[in-house]
Structure 1
């Protein structure tokens, strides 16, 4: 057992197998809001707790998978290229939507932390929550935040967007494909884009470009916002 859990392959295998199980559960139950990421996270925690396996043993393999997150996002360029004309046509609304999304997300986080007396370390860790993990990791490191907590906030934002994004669109009767894509891409990054892809190719393309724009804006705006804290 020691030999298995001390091998980096343990973390890789556990992550992949639990994600597959989560995906199958989602298909079997037919629950669109039940993200495999949620299910796999719960299963991984259960395995580590029940078998009393240190997180550091799992992290060896998980870090290898994390390394491939940034290169994997290149695949999103395919729908982006296929819908380039639409993106050019609506570039300014997309840019403005992302700007508002990043600004409002950061300001509301600051206000809520101030109201509830949350420490500055947690506040800093919360600021990159709306950008993809590859960018959020670097921002968190740059501003002196707690990287692990930043990653948790990023995942939570992604899960919320994936789980309830479509429902929110139905409640508020948001049927415009560009608006849907911008909302999911700018607020819930890769998981939101995965949901956008499920809604349609145009939504997915807009969400893809929104991830990139939001990441660039976050790198520029978050350090500026920090000057006012």
Structure 2
């Protein structure tokens, strides 16, 4: 049974700009930290996989000393956990308030895949609670119940390491030739490719200028009739007409089989 595996942030919804960045900044204010990440700052920080890891980048010796923060590794680990818990709460509130718009074509392609018997999953470096909240917001609780979710600290290494995708493939009980991934970032693409997975990239607000060499297809979104996708790179000559459909996904898998034979 084939599988369609989505990244979360930037793929299901434009969560980075409208969810994660404001949540980080509200957390810094909560803890009295002299930090406020701009959109430009955050674009650079997205090269670091994982929210805790991005916050950990603040803990330079100078920053720690200037702000009276603990220097011991275990104490810093506890501090990061407290920061991340606060950030997750702010993020969940933003999801509940409907502040993050779903990206075009997600519900449509999920329904197509479900009807055809495909397995559905999300593989993300974000916390599982955050991923589940976004998924339910975007596709609704009934559809979300049919997804497997692989998220947060379930693997030792985060994207661009392939660990999260290798875990997903093993747990879903399929081979790499039976899955298509939807990603939005170079880090995510590198993770999926390193796991041997064909990948569609739907560029997001922070990733448009990244290197997507190796992707099976690069588009502005999955597309809708009233909001068609732009094709940015189409090395397999798939030529989707405004919408990435189940037929597009099947053609990607068939191209992999043809290459293997």
Q: Same fold (TM over 0.5)?
A: no
TM range (shorter): 0.3 to 0.5
Please identify which structure carries the higher helix content.
Answer: 1
Which has more strand, going by share of residues? 2
TM-score by length of 1: 0.33
TM-score normalised per structure 2: 0.30
